Amino acid sequence: DIQMTQSPSSLSASVGDRVTITCRASRSISGYLNWYQQRPGKAPHLLIYTSFNLQSGVPSRFSGGGSGTYFTLTISSLQPEDLGTYYCQQSYSAPLTFGGGTKVEIK
């Protein structure tokens, strides 16, 4: 199985800050990396697919990048509604696997 490791596990930032979350794969997954936001009590919500493609309806302050084993999710200007937990997920091979999550709090 491909292991996905996210860092940090949590962060607290101010509105307007630039926030970056990283995700590392245990072996190369090319660009098959997706990002999700999950708010408490809700299902995950797709933000970015195949490393850098912005899902329709997702604000442009979200961006993704990377390939191989190292990926990033960046929020260019943190907004209050961005609080929640963010997960990366590899779709290179089954079994599909998720990172452990990064909890984002607003200062």
Residues near another protein (CB under 8 A) are 1, 32, 34, 36, 42-46, 49-50, 55, 87, 89, 91-98, 100-101
* 47 vs 54: CA distance, rounded Å: 6
Angle at the Cα of 92 from the Cα atoms of 10 and 102, rounded to 5 degrees: 5
Smallest distance, another protein to C-beta of residue 67, A = 14
Toward another protein, which CB reaches closer, 57 or 80?
A: 57
* 8 vs 103: CA distance, rounded Å: 8
Toward another protein, which CB reaches closer, 49 or 82?
A: 49
